[in-house]
Amino acid sequence: MSAIILAVASEYYCNPSLAVAFLRACQSTYWDHFYTTNVTEMKNAETNLGYILQGDAAYVFTTDVPSTTPLYRMYNPSVVDYFYTTSWSEVESAEAEADSNYTLEEIAAYVYDINICGSIPLYRLYSSKETDHFYTTSVPEVLETISKGYTLDGIKAYVLPVPS
């Protein structure tokens, strides 16, 4: 493959200017973390649902750019928990479990399945005590969250780092 083709492919596949902030918020009454790329949706969550904005979790894509996969958002109103996954089998499994009450809401973003284009791991942690799924790119935050009783579910996607 010629250098020109590689350069064009790299620019198309690895264009961080197409990425947007993946906003993170926490609701302390029910202890739930919520993530969205939609600023209006986040403002509504803050104003009407008591979520507190915690900043940008990462940068993700709002459309299916090459080499990305959907990040599905599911919600369980019984326990007030948002659950995000790139695995369609996890979506089906969560919806099929009789007592889970998770329903698919939407594709929250598009992310990488593999570490390419300067991406970094997006870790998923879970607290059965709080019934909360938590996502972060920060290893120190992973360790702190584990010390608070969460279990590390592993790397669930690759995302772009928040620009400095």
Q: How far is CA 17 from the centre of its chain?
A: 19
Does the pLDDT of residue 7 top 50, yes or no?
A: no
CB 49 within 8 A of CB 27: yes
Q: Tokens 């906003």 appear where?
A: 23
Sketch the domain layout of the chain as residue ranges: 3-159
Condensed to tens digits (0 to 9), the pLDDT of residues 50-62 reads: 999 999 999 999 9
Q: Which helix (H) or strand (E) holds 153?
A: strand 151-159
Does the pLDDT of residue 40 top 80, yes or no?
A: yes
Q: How far apart are CA 125 and CA 81, in angstroms?
A: 13
- For residue 11, CA distances in Å to 1, 15, 60, 120 come to 15, 5, 16, 18
Q: How far is CA 21 from the centre of its chain?
A: 11
Condensed to tens digits (0 to 9), the pLDDT of residues 68-114 reads: 999 999 999 988 999 999 999 999 998 887 667 899 999 999 999 99
Per-residue pLDDT band for 154 (boundaries 50, 70, 90) equals very high
